[in-house]
């Protein structure tokens, strides 16, 4: 066992939210020295806002867990793209010095944020609901979202640094931190981590429900513009911005993802069907209480499909950060032939609008920030970092229905989401055909968003690139940082 120490990070307020000068600070002995942060409800709000800001930095979802390292591991880019660190990652050479360092930074940054989640959870649980301006609903949001972030980070660390549950490996790989303290932390197996992730998410779901399904129900069920811009929420801006917060629908979707990764098809189907039946578009349902898929017009330039994003993050400096990093690479991260390998089957698919030719190579517009004449590159769509999409609910159900022997239902679900992406070709209700097309869907939908690697790791299958495959085997498991001082 190692001693995993917490070192607190400086909380930053998200632009547009109330700021506060009293931040959580930790001295070298890992003790809280600024308890004033939690003297009134505003400090709790700022602490939660700071956690979300930290998630969107380049060490995590602002780069490495989206268009950066995770996409490199998923073979989204051509060989030789990026810096030497990314080139080593594409070869799964985890002993390469700069790659080891970057992975250690990801690990430590994630556990830093987990530490702050645990501090916020402990302080929130101490308070009576009357302490918060909006009582039980506000306490529920703060506590529920902190639990959900803690679960999300442990889940993604598990997906990187532990074997997939399909391998039935019972060895310990990482700690699950549920307290803000310095202590000896034992390593948990992947199964143990995933069980606790689900417990945290189930509790979080119930805690945010009073706001998202009652108090601010209209905020959650409105257009993506409202969900992402935060206007019109009861209680003000803190209760808005539900599209970039772990809202009730997103937590249900994340539960479906977690159970699917764990190989629990029964629970994965249960939560996916709940989101599908309650929130997915339905031509026979005349109410407006459903998410809508992005239209063709929304795919030009920005390409984030924010209309059907259940949860994402926001970083107003994202476009500049990406441009600066790519400039240091000296190469623009060309795609690994995604369009050329799949277009002949799905010519109508408007996801192809997200790929353009650059000197004979393919490039994805999602993270370019190229924009159109006169458009502000700092607007919400350019700053968005998708984390979980409505389309994933359809993909989970597709696979679950095939598992159940319901090829007809699987084909109907997959054809439905393909239709929303502009594709007219229908998949036949044959299990092998459905699963074959599902692989292509995953590659198209998640190009440069970091989810393809985890799809193949869960299945313990070689990664498909066009008509070829790349065997990964035991390299699906990234070695945990070996320094005793790194969490």
Q: How far apart (Å, rounded) are the C-alpha atoms in residues 57 and 35?
A: 25
**Distance of alpha carbon 342 from alpha carbon 466, whole angstroms:** 7
Torsion angles phi and psi, residue 311, rounded to 5: -155, 135
Asked if the model's pLDDT at residue 213 lies above 90, the reply is yes
Q: CA nearest 441: which of 346, 327, 332, 317?
A: 346
Is the pLDDT assigned to residue 486 strictly greater than 50? no
Specify the pLDDT at position 482.
Answer: 82
Helix (H, G, I), strand (E, B) or coil at 352: helix
Other residues' Cβ atoms within 10 Å of the Cβ of residue 324: 10
Closest CA to 311 of 366, 240, 390, 377: 390
**Residue 268: per-residue pLDDT:** 98
Domains observed in the chain: 2-316+380-476 (1.25.40.390)
- What the block records as the tokens of 29 is 């002995």
Question: Does residue 14 register a pLDDT over 80?
Answer: no
- Provide the pLDDT confidence category of residue 358 given band limits of 50, 70 and 90: confident
Look at the chain and count its residues.
Answer: 487
- Please report which confidence band the pLDDT of residue 356 belongs to, taking 50, 70 and 90 as the band edges: confident
CA torsion through residues 269, 203, 160, 319, sign? positive
Name the residue with tokens 């980070």. Answer: 153
Poorest-pLDDT segment among 23-32, 84-93, 356-365: 23-32
At residue 376, the 3 state secondary structure works out as: coil
Please tell me the predicted confidence (pLDDT) of residue 188. 96
Q: State both tokens at 363.
A: 């490039």
Lowest mean pLDDT, pick from 146-150, 309-313, 326-330, 332-336: 326-330
DSSP of 271-326: HHHHHHHHHS--TT--SS-S--PPPGGGGTTT---GGGEEEEEE-TTHHHHHHHHH
Instruction: Give me the chain's average pLDDT, please.
Output: 87
Query: Is pLDDT at 279 greater than 70 in this prediction?
Result: yes
pLDDT band of 373, cuts 50, 70, 90: very low
> What's the mean pLDDT in 25-48?
68
Q: What is the pLDDT of residue 5?
A: 43
C-alpha distance from residue 75 to each of 66, 95, 159, 445, 448 (Å) = 13, 19, 17, 14, 9
Highest mean pLDDT of the ranges 110-114, 217-221, 419-423: 110-114
Res. 369 pLDDT band, cuts 50 70 90 = low
Query: Residue 360: is its pLDDT beyond 80?
Result: yes
Q: Each residue of 378-422: pLDDT tens digit?
A: 566 788 999 999 999 999 999 999 999 999 999 999 999 999 999
Return the C-alpha torsion angle 301, 302, 304, 306, nearest 10.
Answer: -120
Ordered DSSP codes for 190-218: HHHHHHHHHHHHHHHHHHHHIIIIIITHH
Is residue 204 within 8 Å of residue 311, measured between CB atoms?
A: no
DSSP count for the chain of H helices, then E strands: 17, 8
pLDDT, position 35:
63
Q: Using alpha carbons, select from 404, 391, 392, 332 the residue that is nearest to residue 362.
A: 332
Query: CA dihedral in degrees (339, 420, 257, 401; nearest 10)?
Result: -100
pLDDT above 90: percentage of residues in the chain: 66
User: Rounded to the nearest 5°, which phi and psi values hold at 160?
Assistant: -90, -50
pLDDT in tens, 448-480: 999 999 999 999 999 998 778 999 999 999 999
Cβ contact 389:309 at 8 Å: yes
Q: What is the pLDDT at residue 182? A: 67
Write the Ramachandran bin of 282: left for phi over 0, alpha for psi from -120 to 50, otherwise beta: beta
What value does the mean pLDDT take over residues 239-248?
94
**367/158: higher pLDDT:** 158
Going by pLDDT thresholds of 50, 70 and 90, the confidence category of residue 34 is low
Residues with Cβ within 8 Å of 427's Cβ and at least 6 positions away in sequence, in order, are 411, 414, 415, 418, 433, 434, 437
Token couple for 284: 């026979």
pLDDT at 33 over 50: no
* Dihedral in degrees, nearest 10, Cα atoms 105, 108, 114, 120: -100
- CA distances in angstroms from 22 to 19, 33, 139, listed in the order given: 9, 11, 20
What's the pLDDT score for residue 36? 80
- Residue 25, pLDDT > 80, answer no
Q: Label residues 286-302 b or e (16+ Cβ within 10 Å = b).
A: eeeeebebbeeebbebb
């Amino acid at each position: 066992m190692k001693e995993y120490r917490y070192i607190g990070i400086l909380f930053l307020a998200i632009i547009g939210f109330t700021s506060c000068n009293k931040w959580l600070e930790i001295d070298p002995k890992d003790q809280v020295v600024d308890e004033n942060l939690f003297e009134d409800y505003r400090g709790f709000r700022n602490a939660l806002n700071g956690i979300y800001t930290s998630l969107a930095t380049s060490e995590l979802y602002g780069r490495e867990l989206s268009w950066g390292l995770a996409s490199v591991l998923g073979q989204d880019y051509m060989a030789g793209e990026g810096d030497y660190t990314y080139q080593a990652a594409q070869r799964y050479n985890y002993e390469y010095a700069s790659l080891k360092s970057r992975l250690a930074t990801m690990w430590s940054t994630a556990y830093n944020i987990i530490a702050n989640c645990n501090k916020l959870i402990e302080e929130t649980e101490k308070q009576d609901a009357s302490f918060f301006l909006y009582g039980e609903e506000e306490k529920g949001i703060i506590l529920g979202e902190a639990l959900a972030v803690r679960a999300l980070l442990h889940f993604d660390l598990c997906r990187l640094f532990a074997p997939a549950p399909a391998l039935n490996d019972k060895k310990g790989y990482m700690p699950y931190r549920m307290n803000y303290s310095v202590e000896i932390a034992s390593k948990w197996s992947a199964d143990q981590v995933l069980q606790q992730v689900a417990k945290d998410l189930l509790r979080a779901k119930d805690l945010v429900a009073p706001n998202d399904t009652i108090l601010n129900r209209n905020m959650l069920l409105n257009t993506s513009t409202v969900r992402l811009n935060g206007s019109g929420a009861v209680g003000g801006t803190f209760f808005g911005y539900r599209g970039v917060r772990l809202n009730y629908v997103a937590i249900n979707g994340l539960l479906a993802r977690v159970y699917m990764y764990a190989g629990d098809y029964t629970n994965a189907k249960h939560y996916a069907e709940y989101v599908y039946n309650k929130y997915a578009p339905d031509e026979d349902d005349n109410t407006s209480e459903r998410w809508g898929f992005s239209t063709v017009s929304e795919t030009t330039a920005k390409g984030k499909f924010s209309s059907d994003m259940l949860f994402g993050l926001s970083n107003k400096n994202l476009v500049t950060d990406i441009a600066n990093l790519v400039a240091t690479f000296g190469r623009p991260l060309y795609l690994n032939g995604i369009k050329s390998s799949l277009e002949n089957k799905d010519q109508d698919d408007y996801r192809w609008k997200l790929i353009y030719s650059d000197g004979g190579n393919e490039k994805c517009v999602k993270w370019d920030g190229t924009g159109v004449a006169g458009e502000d590159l700092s607007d919400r769509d350019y700053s968005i970092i998708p984390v979980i999409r409505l389309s994933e609910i359809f993909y989970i159900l597709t696979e679950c229905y095939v598992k159940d022997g319901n090829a007809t239902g699987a084909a109907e679900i997959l054809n439905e989401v393909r239709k929303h992406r502009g594709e007219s070709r229908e998949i036949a209700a044959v299990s092998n055909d459905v699963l074959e097309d599902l692989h292509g869907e995953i590659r198209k939908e998640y190009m440069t968003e970091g989810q393809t690697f985890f799809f193949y790791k869960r299945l313990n299958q070689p990664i498909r690139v066009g008509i070829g495959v790349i065997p990964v085997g035991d390299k699906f498991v990234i070695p945990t940082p070996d320094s005793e001082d790194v969490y």
